[in-house]
């Protein structure tokens, strides 16, 4: 019945239309939404409770305990229903239910509970939907109820299914962590809580301290992390390790995760530790994966063998019989483990893993190299246990010991059976001593050891015990040099000696790699901790007043104790007047990572360090009021059989004897150790850790004006503290530079081909260093300056097998660093490659400096340890920025650029202040240029304040800045580009859910509302609705663009941002922007590219230009004649990129620069204020046209300055042709000959003694007579004063012999005007007598120059003389302003996108812009070049340098000898005054030769010179 059906449909549509026109009961919908939400949360709690009651085995919860807690369940249910949130974590116990079985049960229960709650919400919705259909949609309240239940179901699916971050118990803890500010390669850290008050309040302050240390250590890498602590079990002295490890996610905070898990798993024992006043240790590690993926099993701390119960003797034990206690070892390691040596054979890490598996009988816990260290430590650490000692002897000490897979090593149980025979003899010895001897005292007596050894050998030779060693038949072989008696001897020694310190020394002696290593064992964790540094840094901080010790790979991390208050107050007062300044202030000890050093910390109650015999002679340093002893050791072989010297024997006796006179001494820090300490409290050179910030990137940007002003004030001797460290370092740099150039001038340089100034760094620091080196090289063309990556230096000189620098000119043959001035640019001061480079180059030069963020850095520590030459040798330039946690670099870049500008000014002034240096380096820069640069430098602060919107005052006030608003508005516009895809997806999602749920798509719904009832018409409406669904994303984005007023033709895809500027700006801005978006979700991700607009931007990236691509270009200020062509080139690059169009659309480009002219093809132009005086070229144009250059294009500016050039050039290249070229060259040659004849006539007339040379008085007369000749010829000549003539004379005296020959005289007379102006410039001096560049006080740059210039010099010549000043302004100042402007713009773009995700997801989706996925603020691990061989290579380079120095000395002596011979010949010829008589000439030569070749005693002069130089050889 089609007709009847049509009528029914029509009626239903009319009814629906009528219903749609009615009012919607909003209050009813809200009420039912709240009810449905409460029902959903109750389903969570009820299902979880039922699951707990259904657990019949009672492993975790008994039904009785659940029923007993029914009241608390009811309370939770009520809170959940009202708050629409069920915290299921409150349903599990907090005490000791933390094993893997419980976690697995809880994870499954949570998953089931979520499914039940979603199912309950679905049932509600289906029930209401069925009821609604039965009533034919006539009841408005039922419609509201159905809508509310649908919304609740949607909410449940989103929160419990789609957007649930909770897949495990670990993830539950993640949800509780907020996205607060924190700091982001591998790093060790740890604390020793000597003061039991740290354990009060469940250790809240201790965990605050741990979190702070993790926060800082995360800068070295934070892909995963872990902490191990030890708790007492079964009785005093029996410790078990509690290890907490987490793998960080892309957008979570490792410090929060690690604290949460550690606190939960170990807080139960903190109260007990406080009650018993026990010392607690927490040893941790954050990891940046270098050899494997960041997995849970690869996370430190590492343990190869799990906890094992073994028979152990105590060191202080006097009674017989061993005790079975748990034994386990943990290690944390930063660096790389390459190989281990057994019986003088090196074995790689892969071979070691296979061998360790067969020896330890446990599979490798992980494939990472650090896990292998844990296995080796398990084999070495054997003190007190004969089973472990016997295994150590079989594995390492016998001549048959070897590393190979499937080694036939007995099990630990078999070794225990062997150990029982050793125990029997030891027990007999203890019984015989009647309790008068301890195990430790027996071990310290070599006679007792020998007696034990003989008795044990006799024990094994008894009839019943001959087969006891049968399991070692593969290792005990008399013919191979491995008899059983040697096995017994080694086992006895290992039993007494192999403590933690011995273990660390033995491992480092036989291991190849770089190590920042911590080793701890359950047997001595109650009193000892051992750390070591070799190739990786370790610092230990002591806080006597707090009862706290912090250690870590990152120096800044151990300063965390300064910012966390001691619970219940300090335990020691500040006491002044100690012997070496011991006033209980916090101090830090930095281990010698270059040569390798080990530190054992022992806080035993008896105050006698538990150190075995081989190390008992080492000096023990009492610290922390005598409660802690520190023992420092170097790696090396340790043999008990070594003869005891008298001093060693005395030291050993003093160190272990309780009645030793040392015990009665004071506890002030030993003088030798004190001078190695760094004071942390009351030290203005130590900066506190930064406060936490919600937006660290914004904090950095806002600090730029203040920090840069502080750097300038500090350089002008107005420091923030009591002294200017940078001025002291600048003085030392100037001294080294003068010494270097003096050797060049005097030809006493050790290596003629060596580089004068080497600037090195990595990544951002390297890019800034390259610009600095470029400016310095251009300013002084003959000065050998080179910028080179630290990784290339490390690859070429730090490896036995060098890494070839393919594609670069770097090689051992071309680069010579002998006595070079090395400037290491490393803002963090801890990056691996620059740090290793500083260690490596010490063998080649003593003039090494670092540009860092603060005085207290790892590189600074290494440079301070260098030997000085008697003067004050400060080697650290500091920006005083301190630790900056944000990975996108803004303030560190700006501050480093500012400091390098100050260094450039100082080095330039040092060279220009000396005529010999200026002449040798062929100085192109002038002091006028430096004054103009300094003026721009000082005015730069105001420009930066305008750009960032914050003042440079200490309070850092927020300023109203239109320029900042303009930059941030542009950032918002680009954020709209990035977010349009996400917004379009959300609009599509809402449309689809709404129309599908309601059953009425857009066109069909409109048709129904309009009363359409024809059936066939609905097919048409549905067809168009299908088209809307198909193109819904495009439609949504088009609507967004219409609303925002953006180009409709841009491609609807992810955005690519291309940055064009000079190299350092484009590269640094690229790094900044890409890191801002590193953690962004893929739907709002971007691709960042960069290039040099004056070089390869067009070639590299124009093929990537598509509609909607975003291009930002920094434009030089083309109003300056020296930069006009650069702006024209930049403008052409942008125009070429923007001219590539498709269907009328192209990229969206903006420019940032100082010249107020908008390019026609650019979308927007941001003009930065000038903030500098005008240059002469601008002033000259204004005087001629009564107009300024603002608003003129680069092409127009080129035309203006080209016309000036044409006006002031007699014959330009544009007018040159075949006809006048011959005439021009002929006239020029003719004029040159005539001029030369005139000059020669004057020269001969003035050379009164006819020796072919002019003195200063003769030159003065000659120059003034030339004025007369020029006037007679009708030519203008520059009139000079006597002082100016003397300055010219000194500049022309190339050989510095006090006279001028004809060529030198002629060169001065024919000097171009520009060069003469540079020579005759004034010498600016600081009023305080400091060597300092004074800023220009001119109204416009060139004003003084214009007034003092001779009249014949034309204006364009003066403009040309300022070109280098303009280039310096562009390279040092203007480019910095553009970079800072880009950071403001990019920060706004990134922050806008970040906040959008939080807003639309109600906080579920969030990330931080101050960190990246790699989480590596400081690359402290070898990347990509290893530094394992730096120490050995350093000694080799020192030998090569010494050899080359000897060869150079011999060559120099020979040169001086030959020059002396020639000089004597000339003197004899002058004395005889006979140039024609060859006989007399020969006699003179003979006389000269005799005078030259023969010295006193018949020795040749050459021999005498060589002997005098022998000391330098």
Q: What is the residue-wise DSSP string for 1320-1366?
A: T------TTS---PPPP--SEETHHHHHHS-TTS-HHHHHHHTHHHH
- Tell which residue, 302, 833, 830, 834, has the closest CA to residue 590: 830
Length of the chain: 1513
Kindly write down the DSSP assignment for every residue of 458-485, as one continuous string. Answer: HHHTSGGGTTTTGGGTTT-BTTTTB-HH
pLDDT of residue 1488: 39
- Tell which residue, 33, 22, 28, 15, has the closest CA to residue 141: 28
Q: What integer is the mean pLDDT of 1343-1358?
A: 77
d(CA 404, CA 223): 34
**Beta strand pairing status for 1086-1092 and 1055-1061?**
parallel
In this structure, how many other beta carbons lie within 10 angstroms of the beta carbon of residue 551?
A: 26
- Tell which residue, 752, 819, 811, 822, has the closest CA to residue 1447: 752
Task: Using a pLDDT cut of 90, give the percent of the chain over it.
Answer: 32
pLDDT of residue 136: 52
882-896 pLDDT, tens digit per residue, is 888 888 999 999 999
Q: What are phi and psi of 1057, to 5 degrees?
A: -110, 125
Q: 149: pLDDT confidence band, cut at 50, 70 and 90? A: confident
- Of the spans 70-74, 933-937, 1000-1004, which averages the highest pLDDT? 933-937
Which range has the worst mean pLDDT, 265-269, 502-506, 1407-1411?
Answer: 265-269
Q: What is the overall mean pLDDT for the chain?
A: 80
d(CA 235, CA 619): 33
- Tell which residue, 1174, 1086, 937, 1102, has the closest CA to residue 1393: 1086
d(CA 354, CA 376): 12
With 60 as the cut, is the pLDDT of residue 1127 above it?
A: yes
Kindly write down the DSSP assignment for every residue of 337-357, as one continuous string. Answer: EEEEEETTEEEEHHHHHHHHH
With 90 as the cut, is the pLDDT of residue 458 above it?
A: no
d(CA 358, CA 351): 11
Give the angle 1358-1361-1366 at the CA atoms, nearest 5°.
Answer: 115
Which range has the worst mean pLDDT, 613-617, 795-799, 825-829?
Answer: 795-799
**CB-CB contact of 1194 with 1403 (8 Å):** no
Q: Is the pTM of this model over 0.85?
A: no
pLDDT of residue 1058: 94
pLDDT of residue 531: 96
d(CA 145, CA 1021): 30
Neighbouring residues of 1145: CB distance < 8 A, sequence distance ≥ 6: 1047, 1049, 1050, 1051, 1107, 1108
Neighbouring residues of 467: CB distance < 8 A, sequence distance ≥ 6: none
d(CA 1448, CA 102): 75
Query: For residue 395, what are its two tokens?
Result: 């594995």
With 70 as the cut, is the pLDDT of residue 1136 above it?
A: yes
With 70 as the cut, is the pLDDT of residue 76 above it?
A: no
pLDDT of residue 1158: 93
Q: 681: pLDDT confidence band, cut at 50, 70 and 90? A: confident
Segment holding 335, helix H or strand E: strand 329-342
Q: 1220: pLDDT confidence band, cut at 50, 70 and 90? A: low
**CB-CB contact of 1152 with 1381 (8 Å):** yes
pLDDT of residue 1280: 66
Q: What integer is the mean pLDDT of 679-686?
A: 84
Helical ranges in 1102-1156 per DSSP H: 1124-1138
d(CA 1350, CA 165): 79
Which range has the worst mean pLDDT, 208-212, 356-360, 662-666?
Answer: 662-666
Q: What are phi and psi of 649, to 5 degrees?
A: -65, -40
Which range has the worst mean pLDDT, 72-86, 793-807, 858-872, 1139-1153?
Answer: 72-86
Kindly write down the DSSP assignment for every residue of 1202-1254, as one continuous string. Answer: HHHHHHT-SS-TTT--HHHHHHHHHHHHHHHHHHHHHHHHHHHHH-TT-SS-B
How many separate helices (H) and strands (E) can be counted in the chain?
50, 29
With 60 as the cut, is the pLDDT of residue 1479 above it?
A: no
91-113 pLDDT, tens digit per residue, is 555 444 444 455 556 666 777 87
Query: For residue 888, what are its two tokens?
Result: 């996108």
Instruction: Give how far Cα 1078 sits from Cα of 1074, 1084, 1088, 1111, 1420, Å.
Output: 6, 11, 11, 19, 21
pLDDT of residue 393: 93
d(CA 284, CA 255): 11
With 90 as the cut, is the pLDDT of residue 58 above it?
A: no
d(CA 66, CA 69): 5
Q: Which residue has the higher pLDDT, 940 or 567?
A: 940
């Amino acid at each position: 019945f089609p007709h009847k059906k049509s009528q029914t449909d029509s009626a239903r549509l009319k009814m629906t239309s009528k219903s749609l026109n009615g009012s919607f009961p909003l209050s009813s919908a809200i009420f039912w939404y709240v009810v449905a939400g409460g029902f959903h949360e109750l389903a969570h709690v009820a299902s979880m409770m039922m699951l707990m009651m259904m657990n019949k085995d009672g492993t975790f919860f008994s039904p009785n305990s659940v029923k007993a807690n029914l009241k608390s369940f009811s309370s939770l249910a009520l809170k959940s229903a009202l708050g629409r949130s069920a915290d299921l974590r409150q349903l599990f116990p907090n005490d000791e239910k933390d094993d893997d079985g419980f976690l697995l049960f809880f994870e499954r229960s949570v998953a089931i509970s979520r499914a039940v709650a979603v199912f309950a919400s679905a049932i509600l919705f289906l029930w209401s939907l069925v009821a609604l259909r039965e009533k034919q949609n006539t009841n408005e309240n039922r419609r509201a109820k159905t809508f509310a239940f649908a919304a609740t179901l949607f909410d449940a699916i989103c929160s419990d299914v789609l957007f649930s971050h909770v897949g495990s118990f670990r993830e539950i803890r993640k949800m509780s962590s907020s996205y607060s500010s924190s700091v982001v390669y591998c790093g060790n850290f740890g604390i020793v809580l000597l003061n039991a008050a740290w354990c009060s309040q469940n250790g809240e302050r201790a965990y605050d301290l741990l979190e702070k240390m993790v926060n800082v250590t995360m800068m070295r890498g934070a892909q995963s992390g872990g902490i191990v602590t030890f708790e007492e079990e079964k009785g005093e002295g029996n410790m078990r390790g509690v290890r907490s490890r987490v793998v960080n996610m892309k957008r979570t905070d490792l410090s929060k995760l690690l604290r949460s898990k550690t606190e939960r798993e170990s807080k139960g024992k903190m109260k007990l530790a406080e009650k018993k006043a026990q010392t607690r240790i927490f040893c941790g590690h954050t990891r940046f994966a270098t050899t494997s993926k960041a997995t849970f099993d690869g996370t430190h701390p590492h343990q190869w063998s799990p906890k094992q119960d073994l028979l152990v003797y105590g060191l202080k034990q006097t009674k017989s019989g061993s005790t079975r206690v748990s034994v386990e070892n943990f290690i944390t390691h930063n660096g790389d483990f390459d190989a281990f040596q057994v019986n003088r054979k090196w074995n790689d890490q892969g071979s070691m893993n296979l061998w360790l598996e067969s020896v330890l009988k446990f599979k490798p816990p992980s494939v990472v190299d650090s896990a292998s260290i844990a296995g080796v430590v398990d084999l070495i650490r054997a003190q007190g246990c004969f089973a472990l000692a016997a295994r150590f002897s079989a594995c390492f000490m016998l001549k048959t010991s070897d590393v190979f897979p499937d080694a036939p090593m007995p099990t630990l149980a078999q070794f225990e059976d062997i150990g029982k025979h050793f125990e029997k003899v030891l027990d007999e010895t203890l019984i015989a001593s009647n309790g008068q001897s301890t195990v430790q005292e027996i071990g310290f007596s070599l006679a007792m050891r020998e007696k034990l050894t003989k008795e044990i050998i006799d024990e094994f030779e008894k009839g019943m015990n001959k087969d006891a060693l049968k399991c070692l038949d593969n290792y005990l072989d008399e013919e191979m040099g491995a008899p059983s008696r040697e096995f017994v001897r080694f086992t006895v020694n290992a039993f007494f000696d192999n403590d933690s310190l011995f273990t660390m020394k033995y491992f480092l002696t036989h291991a190849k790699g770089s190590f920042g290593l911590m080793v701890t064992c359950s047997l001595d964790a109650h009193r000892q901790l051992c750390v070591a540094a070799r190739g990786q840094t370790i610092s230990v901080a002591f806080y006597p007043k707090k009862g706290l010790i912090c250690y870590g790979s990152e120096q800044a991390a151990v300063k965390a104790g300064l910012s966390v208050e001691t619970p219940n107050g300090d335990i020691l007062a500040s006491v002044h007047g100690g012997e070496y300044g011991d006033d209980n202030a916090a101090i830090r000890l930095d281990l010698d990572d270059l040569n390798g050093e080990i530190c054992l910390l022992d806080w035993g109650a008896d105050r006698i360090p538990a150190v075995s015999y081989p190390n008992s002679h080492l000096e023990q340093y009492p610290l922390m009021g005598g409660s802690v002893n520190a023992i420092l050791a170097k790696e090396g072989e340790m043999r008990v059989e070594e003869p005891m010297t008298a001093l060693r024997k005395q030291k050993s006796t003093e160190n272990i004897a309780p009645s030793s006179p040392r015990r009665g001494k004071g506890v002030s820090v030993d003088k030798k150790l004190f001078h190695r300490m760094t004071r942390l409290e009351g030290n203005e050179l130590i900066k506190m850790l930064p406060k936490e910030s919600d937006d660290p990137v914004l904090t950095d940007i806002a600090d730029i004006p203040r920090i840069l002003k502080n750097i300038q004030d500090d350089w002008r001797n107005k420091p923030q503290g009591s002294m200017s460290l940078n001025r002291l370092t600048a003085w030392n740099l100037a001294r080294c530079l003068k010494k270097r150039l003096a050797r060049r001038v005097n030809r006493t340089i050790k290596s003629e081909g060596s580089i004068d100034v080497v600037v090195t760094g990595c990544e951002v620091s390297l890019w800034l260093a390259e610009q600095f080196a470029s400016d310095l090289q251009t300013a002084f063309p003959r000065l050998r300056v080179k910028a080179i990556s630290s990784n290339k230096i490390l690859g070429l000189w730090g490896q036995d097998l060098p890494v070839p620098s393919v594609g670069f000119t770097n090689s051992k043959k071309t680069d010579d660093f002998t006595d070079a001035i090395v400037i290491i640019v490393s803002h963090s001061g801890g990056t691996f490659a620059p740090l290793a480079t500083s260690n490596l180059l010490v063998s080649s030069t003593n003039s090494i400096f670092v540009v860092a963020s603060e005085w207290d850095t790892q590189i600074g520590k290494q440079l301070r340890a260098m030997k000085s030459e008697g003067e004050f040798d400060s080697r650290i330039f500091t920006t005083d920025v301190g630790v900056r946690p944000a990975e996108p670099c803004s303030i560190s870049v700006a501050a480093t650029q500012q400091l390098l500008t100050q260094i450039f000014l100082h080095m330039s002034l040092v060279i220009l202040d000396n005529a010999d240096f200026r002449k040798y380096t062929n100085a192109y820069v002038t002091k006028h240029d430096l004054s103009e640069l300094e003026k721009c430098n000082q005015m730069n602060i105001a420009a930066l304040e305008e750009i960032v919107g914050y003042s440079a005052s200490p309070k850092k006030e927020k300023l109203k800045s239109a320029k900042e608003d303009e930059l941030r508005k542009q950032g918002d516009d680009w954020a709209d580009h990035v977010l349009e895809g996400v917004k379009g997806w959300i609009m599509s999602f809402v449309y689809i859910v709404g129309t599908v749920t309601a059953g009425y798509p857009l066109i069909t719904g409109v048709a129904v509302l309009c009363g359409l009832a024809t059936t066939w018409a609905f097919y048409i409406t549905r067809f168009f609705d299908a088209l809307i669904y198909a193109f819904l994303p495009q439609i949504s984005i088009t609507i967004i663009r219409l609303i925002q007023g953006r180009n409709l033709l841009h491609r609807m895809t992810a955005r690519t941002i291309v940055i064009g500027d000079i190299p350092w700006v484009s590269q640094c801005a690229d790094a900044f922007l890409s890191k801002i978006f590193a953690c962004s979700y893929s739907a709002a991700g971007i691709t960042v590219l960069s290039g040099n607009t004056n070089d390869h931007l067009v070639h590299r990236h124009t093929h990537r230009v598509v509609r909607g691509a975003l291009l930002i270009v920094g434009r030089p200020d083309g109003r300056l004649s020296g930069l006009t062509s650069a702006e024209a080139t930049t403008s052409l690059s942008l125009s070429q990129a923007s001219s590539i169009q498709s269907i009328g659309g192209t990229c969206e480009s903006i420019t940032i620069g100082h010249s107020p002219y908008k390019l026609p093809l650019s979308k927007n132009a941001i003009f930065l204020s000038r903030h500098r005086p005008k240059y002469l070229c601008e002033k000259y144009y204004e005087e001629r046209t009564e107009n300024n250059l603002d608003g003129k294009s680069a092409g127009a500016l080129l035309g203006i300055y080209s016309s000036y050039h044409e006006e002031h050039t007699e014959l330009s290249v544009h007018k040159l042709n075949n006809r006048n070229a011959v005439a021009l060259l002929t006239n020029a040659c003719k004029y040159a000959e005539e001029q030369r004849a005139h000059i020669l006539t004057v020269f001969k007339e003035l050379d009164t003694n006819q020796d072919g040379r002019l003195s200063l008085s003769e030159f003065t007369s000659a120059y003034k007579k030339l004025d007369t000749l020029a006037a007679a010829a009708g030519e203008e000549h520059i009139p000079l004063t006597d002082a100016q003539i003397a300055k010219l004379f000194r500049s022309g005296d190339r050989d510095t012999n006090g006279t001028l020959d004809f060529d030198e005289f002629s060169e001065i007379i024919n000097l171009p005007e520009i060069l003469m102006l540079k020579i005759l410039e004034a010498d600016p001096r600081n009023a305080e007598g400091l060597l300092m560049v004074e800023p220009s006080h001119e109204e416009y740059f060139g004003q003084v120059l214009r007034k003092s210039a001779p009249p014949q010099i034309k204006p364009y010549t003066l403009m040309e003389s300022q070109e280098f000043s303009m280039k310096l302004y562009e390279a040092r100042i203007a480019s910095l302003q553009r970079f800072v402007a880009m950071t403001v713009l990019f920060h706004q773009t990134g922050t806008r996108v970040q906040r959008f995700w939080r807003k639309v997801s109600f906080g579920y989706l969030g990330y931080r812009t101050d960190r990246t996925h790699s989480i590596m603020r400081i690359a402290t691990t070898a990347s990509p070049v290893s530094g394992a061989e730096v120490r050995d290579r350093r000694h080799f380079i020192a030998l090569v340098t010494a050899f080359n120095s000897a060869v150079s000395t011999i060559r120099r002596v020979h040169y001086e000898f030959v020059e002396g011979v020639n000089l004597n010949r000339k003197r004899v010829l002058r004395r005889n005054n006979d140039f024609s008589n060859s006989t007399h000439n020969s006699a003179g030569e003979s006389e000269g030769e005799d005078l030259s070749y023969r010295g006193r005693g018949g020795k040749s002069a050459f021999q005498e010179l060589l002997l005098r130089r022998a000391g330098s050889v």
